Protein backbone atom coordinates (compact mmCIF):
# COMPACT_ATOMS: atom_id res chain seq x y z
CA UNK A 1 0.00 0.00 0.00
CA UNK A 2 1.61 3.23 -1.13
CA UNK A 3 -0.97 5.67 0.13
CA UNK A 4 -3.32 6.61 2.93
CA UNK A 5 -4.23 10.23 2.23
CA UNK A 6 -5.84 9.62 -1.14
CA UNK A 7 -7.67 7.08 -3.25
CA UNK A 8 -6.46 5.83 -6.62
CA UNK A 9 -8.54 5.80 -9.78
CA UNK A 10 -7.21 3.38 -12.39
CA UNK A 11 -8.28 3.88 -16.00
CA UNK A 12 -7.51 2.69 -19.52
CA UNK A 13 -4.78 5.13 -20.56
CA UNK A 14 -5.45 4.54 -24.27
CA UNK A 15 -9.19 5.28 -24.12
CA UNK A 16 -10.31 8.79 -25.12
CA UNK A 17 -13.56 8.50 -23.13
CA UNK A 18 -11.64 7.38 -20.04
CA UNK A 19 -9.21 10.27 -20.42
CA UNK A 20 -12.14 12.70 -20.66
CA UNK A 21 -13.46 11.26 -17.38
CA UNK A 22 -10.01 11.80 -15.82
CA UNK A 23 -10.06 15.43 -17.05
CA UNK A 24 -13.42 15.84 -15.29
CA UNK A 25 -12.04 14.33 -12.08
CA UNK A 26 -8.94 16.53 -12.09
CA UNK A 27 -11.08 19.61 -12.69
CA UNK A 28 -13.33 18.93 -9.69
CA UNK A 29 -10.85 17.13 -7.40
CA UNK A 30 -10.61 20.13 -5.10
CA UNK A 31 -9.86 18.18 -1.94
CA UNK A 32 -7.08 16.33 -3.78
CA UNK A 33 -8.61 13.12 -2.47
CA UNK A 34 -7.85 11.24 -5.70
CA UNK A 35 -4.75 10.28 -7.62
CA UNK A 36 -5.02 8.63 -11.00
CA UNK A 37 -3.01 5.90 -12.70
CA UNK A 38 -3.27 4.01 -15.95
CA UNK A 39 -4.28 0.37 -15.76
CA UNK A 40 -1.29 -0.22 -18.03
CA UNK A 41 1.13 1.36 -15.50
CA UNK A 42 3.38 0.21 -12.70
CA UNK A 43 1.06 1.38 -9.91
CA UNK A 44 -1.76 -0.84 -11.22
CA UNK A 45 0.58 -3.84 -11.32
CA UNK A 46 1.69 -3.19 -7.74
CA UNK A 47 -1.70 -2.40 -6.20
CA UNK A 48 -4.26 -4.51 -8.10
CA UNK A 49 -4.75 -8.23 -8.71
CA UNK A 50 -3.48 -9.24 -12.16
CA UNK A 51 -6.96 -10.00 -13.50
CA UNK A 52 -8.05 -6.51 -12.49
CA UNK A 53 -5.30 -4.49 -14.20
CA UNK A 54 -5.52 -6.63 -17.33
CA UNK A 55 -9.23 -5.87 -17.65
CA UNK A 56 -9.21 -2.52 -19.43
CA UNK A 57 -13.00 -2.36 -19.74
CA UNK A 58 -13.65 -0.77 -16.35
CA UNK A 59 -12.50 2.11 -14.24
CA UNK A 60 -11.22 0.88 -10.88
CA UNK A 61 -11.35 2.74 -7.58
CA UNK A 62 -8.99 1.67 -4.81
CA UNK A 63 -10.11 3.45 -1.66
CA UNK A 64 -8.15 4.33 1.49
CA UNK A 65 -9.23 1.06 3.12
CA UNK A 66 -7.93 -0.98 0.17
CA UNK A 67 -11.44 -1.78 -1.04
CA UNK A 68 -11.74 -2.14 -4.80
CA UNK A 69 -14.75 -0.86 -6.74
CA UNK A 70 -15.39 -1.31 -10.45
CA UNK A 71 -17.94 -0.33 -13.09
CA UNK A 72 -20.82 1.82 -11.85
CA UNK A 73 -19.86 1.27 -8.21
CA UNK A 74 -16.57 3.03 -8.91
CA UNK A 75 -18.03 5.84 -11.03
CA UNK A 76 -20.79 6.66 -8.54
CA UNK A 77 -18.37 6.70 -5.60
CA UNK A 78 -15.86 8.84 -7.48
CA UNK A 79 -18.31 11.44 -8.78
CA UNK A 80 -20.16 11.72 -5.46
CA UNK A 81 -16.92 12.77 -3.73
CA UNK A 82 -15.93 15.53 -6.13
CA UNK A 83 -18.38 18.23 -5.04
CA UNK A 84 -21.06 18.32 -2.34
CA UNK A 85 -23.79 18.73 -4.96
CA UNK A 86 -22.62 15.51 -6.66
CA UNK A 87 -23.52 13.46 -3.56
CA UNK A 88 -26.94 13.13 -5.17
CA UNK A 89 -25.40 10.43 -7.39
CA UNK A 90 -25.20 8.13 -4.37
CA UNK A 91 -28.90 7.48 -4.82
CA UNK A 92 -28.01 5.28 -7.79
CA UNK A 93 -26.39 2.82 -5.38
CA UNK A 94 -29.93 1.87 -4.38
CA UNK A 95 -30.31 0.21 -7.76
CA UNK A 96 -28.76 -3.25 -7.91
CA UNK A 97 -25.66 -3.59 -10.07
CA UNK A 98 -27.42 -5.95 -12.46
CA UNK A 99 -29.57 -2.95 -13.45
CA UNK A 100 -26.75 -0.35 -13.49
CA UNK A 101 -23.82 -2.22 -15.00
CA UNK A 102 -25.22 -3.38 -18.37
CA UNK A 103 -25.26 0.19 -19.72
CA UNK A 104 -21.72 0.74 -18.41
CA UNK A 105 -20.53 -2.50 -20.01
CA UNK A 106 -22.20 -1.59 -23.31
CA UNK A 107 -20.46 1.77 -23.43
CA UNK A 108 -17.15 0.17 -22.39
CA UNK A 109 -17.43 -2.43 -25.14
CA UNK A 110 -17.75 0.19 -27.89
CA UNK A 111 -15.75 3.05 -26.35
CA UNK A 112 -12.90 2.84 -28.86
CA UNK A 113 -15.30 2.73 -31.79
CA UNK A 114 -17.30 5.78 -30.69
CA UNK A 115 -14.69 7.85 -28.86
CA UNK A 116 -11.39 6.69 -30.33
CA UNK A 117 -8.18 5.30 -28.94
CA UNK A 118 -4.77 6.81 -28.29
CA UNK A 119 -1.67 5.08 -29.60
CA UNK A 120 0.14 5.64 -26.30
CA UNK A 121 -0.95 6.23 -22.74
CA UNK A 122 -1.65 9.78 -21.73
CA UNK A 123 1.24 11.93 -20.57
CA UNK A 124 0.11 14.40 -17.91
CA UNK A 125 0.72 18.10 -18.40
CA UNK A 126 2.93 19.97 -15.95
CA UNK A 127 -0.18 21.10 -14.03
CA UNK A 128 -1.61 17.56 -13.89
CA UNK A 129 1.52 15.75 -12.67
CA UNK A 130 0.58 16.03 -8.99
CA UNK A 131 -2.49 13.86 -9.67
CA UNK A 132 -0.79 11.09 -11.67
CA UNK A 133 0.97 8.00 -10.39
CA UNK A 134 3.26 5.89 -12.60
pLDDT the model gives residue 126:
85
Which tens digit of pLDDT belongs to each residue from 89-109? 888 889 999 999 999 999 999
Per-residue three-class SS string for the chain: CCCCCCEEEEECCCEHHHHHHHHHHHHHCCCCCEEEEECCCHHHHHHCCHHHHHCCCCCEEECCCCCEEEHHHHHHHHHHCCCHHHHHHHHHHHCCHHHHHHHHHHHHHCHHHHHCECCCCCCCCCCCHHHECC
The answer to whether residue 1 sits within a structural domain is no
The answer to whether residue 76 sits within a structural domain is yes
The answer to whether residue 2 sits within a structural domain is no
Domain interval for residue 17: 7-131
Count structural domains, the chain.
1
Which residue numbers in the chain have pLDDT < 70?
A: 1-3
Amino acid sequence: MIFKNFQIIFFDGHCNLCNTFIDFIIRYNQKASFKVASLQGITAQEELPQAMYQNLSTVVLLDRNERIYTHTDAVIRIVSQLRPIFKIFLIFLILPRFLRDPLYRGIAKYRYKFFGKRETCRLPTKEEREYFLP
